[in-house]
């Protein structure tokens, strides 16, 4: 709805323009009448010696077309509205049309989703049609980060494998999608000297079975036990409640090369999975969770 200033602004300009057009039409007619006395009807403008501009009245049919457009304007405004906030007789409005179209779409959707709503999670994960819809939803909403094949990329977890930051129960995956996730790997080594950090990097490498210098790793373990076990556990198996990745396997979110591990330690990491609560309906999020889980199961 328009504020009362803009309402009157529109009303006055619209009515004035129409009335002004009407007046203009009548005025031009007036001119031609006035010139009736002038036998030739000439305006007095002459070009190329004998090319004379005449001032004849508009043809009647043409003039009437103009009147018809004015009548049309009034009929249109009466039926559909157009004068600021004054609604039309037919009750049409942009909002109304938008809502009607949205409702129609919702009805079609309801028919599709009500079938899925009756299925339990296991059945949904195994349903080919549901997964095809899930795949389309994934391509539109998730693939820019997780990849169109859901294999992820550096910083964006692979959703096809059996390694989960937060867990693979249906409810957990649903929660990841609904509320999003904020991974928080703090910077804890700021006060350590470079050798101590190198030792720690070597120890993290050794956890995942990479070749590592035993003496350096032993030093690194002491630092690890002091600063890291609270989240990554003493054996490096991680903590799904915190989204702290398992470090004793060869699956990496940010990379397992010494340089990548060092960057993780020095800069910290803050993976951000957006929340889809307000972006996708619960039906859609459930189809996505089922699709994602069907990839690894
Ligand atoms: C802007 C990039 C981005 C988009 C878009 C995105 N994600 Fe994520 N997602 C992430 C990141 C980053 C993480 C890891 C968060 C962390 O580091 O703690 C994640 C984590 C997840 C997890 C948890 C994985 C685990 O191992 O526990 C699931 C499940 C998931 N995303 C599904 C989806 C789905 C489904 C969509 C589409 C609706 C989606 N994501 C869209 C970036 C994104
Ligand atoms: C407060 C909990 C917490 C502590 C303490 C912590 N981390 Fe982390 N760590 C995390 C989280 C959460 C992530 C995942 C970050 C993300 O999802 O963006 C992570 C990620 C990592 C990664 C990246 C793993 C990968 O797959 O790429 C490494 C390596 C790592 N941490 C090592 C350490 C070391 C070494 C320490 C001790 C100095 C440590 N972390 C202390 C929570 C913690």
| 295 alpha carbon, closest ligand | 1
CB of 184 within 6 A of ligand 2: the answer is yes
Q: Which residues, other chains included, contact 221 with Cβ-Cβ below 8 Å and sequence gap of 6+? A: 203
Which is higher by pLDDT, 84 or 295? 295
- Tell me the C-alpha distance between 162 and 292, whole Å: 11
Structure tokens at 273: 């999975």
Asked if residue 34 has pLDDT above 90, the reply is: no
Please list, residue by residue across 64-95, b when 16 or more beta carbons sit within 10 angstroms of its beta carbon and e when fewer do. Answer: eeeeeeeeeeeeebeeebbbbeeeeeeeeeee
- Tell me the C-alpha distance between 19 and 259, whole Å: 77
- pLDDT tens per residue, range 122-173: 999 999 999 999 999 999 999 999 999 999 999 999 999 999 999 999 999 9
Structure tokens at 188: 């804890």
CB of 295 within 6 A of ligand 1: the answer is no
Q: Report the nearest atom of ligand 2 relative to the CA of 181.
A: 17
Q: Which residues, other chains included, contact 103 with Cβ-Cβ below 8 Å and sequence gap of 6+? A: none
Asked if residue 1 has pLDDT above 80, the reply is: no
| 272 alpha carbon, closest ligand | 1
Quote the CATH superfamily of domain 194-270: Cytochrome c-like domain (1.10.760.10)
- Tell me the C-alpha distance between 24 and 258, whole Å: 83
Q: Atom 8 in ligand 2: which residue has the minimum CA distance?
A: 185
Instruction: Quickly count: other Cβ atoms within 10 Å of residue 246's Cβ.
Output: 21
Give me the residue spans of the domains in the chain. 1-30+57-92, 117-182+276-296, 194-270
CB of 273 within 6 A of ligand 1: the answer is yes
Q: Report the nearest atom of ligand 1 relative to the CA of 253.
A: 17
Whether 243 contacts 232, CB under 8 Å:
no
- pLDDT tens per residue, range 231-287: 999 999 999 999 999 999 999 999 999 999 999 999 999 999 999 999 999 999 999
Residue from 272, 100, 104 nearest 184 by CA: 272
CB of 142 within 6 A of ligand 1: the answer is yes
Asked if residue 37 has pLDDT above 60, the reply is: no
CB of 273 within 6 A of ligand 2: the answer is no
Same CATH topology for 117-182+276-296 and 194-270? yes
Structure tokens at 38: 């002038």
Q: Quick check: pTM over 0.85? A: no
Percent pLDDT > 90 in the chain is 78
Quote the CATH superfamily of domain 117-182+276-296: Cytochrome c-like domain (1.10.760.10)
């Amino acid at each position: 709805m328009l504020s009362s200033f803009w309402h009157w602004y529109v009303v006055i300009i619209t009515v004035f323009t129409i009335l002004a057009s009407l007046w203009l039409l009548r005025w031009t007619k007036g001119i031609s009448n006035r010139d009736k006395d002038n036998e030739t009807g000439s305006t007095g403008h002459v070009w190329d010696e004998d090319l004379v501009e005449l001032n004849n009245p508009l043809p009647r049919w043409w003039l009437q077309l103009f009147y018809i457009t004015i009548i049309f304007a009034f009929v249109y405004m009466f039926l559909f509205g157009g004068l600021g906030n004054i609604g039309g007789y037919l009750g049409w409005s942009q909002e109304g049309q938008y809502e009607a179209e949205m409702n129609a779409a919702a009805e079609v959707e309801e028919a599709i989703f009500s079938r899925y709503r009756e299925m339990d999670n296991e059945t949904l994960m195994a349903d080919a049609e549901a997964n095809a819809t899930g795949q389309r939803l994934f391509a539109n909403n998730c693939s820019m980060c997780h990849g169109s094949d859901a294999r992820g990329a550096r910083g964006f977890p692979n959703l096809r494998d059996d390694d989960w930051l937060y867990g693979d129960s249906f409810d957990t995956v649903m929660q990841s999608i609904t509320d999003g996730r904020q991974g928080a790997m703090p910077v804890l080594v700021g006060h350590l000297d470079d050798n101590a950090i190198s030792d720690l990097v070597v120890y993290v490498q050794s956890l995942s079975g990479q070749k590592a210098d035993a003496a350096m790793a032993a030093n690194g373990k002491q630092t690890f036990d002091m600063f890291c076990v609270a989240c990554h556990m003493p054996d490096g198996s991680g903590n799904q409640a915190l989204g702290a990745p398992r470090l004793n396997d060869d699956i990496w979110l940010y990379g397992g090369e010494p340089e990548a591990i060092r960057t993780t330690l020095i800069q910290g990491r803050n993976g951000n999975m957006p929340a889809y609560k307000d972006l996708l309906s619960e039906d859609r999020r459930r189809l996505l969770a089922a699709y994602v889980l069907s990839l690894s199961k």
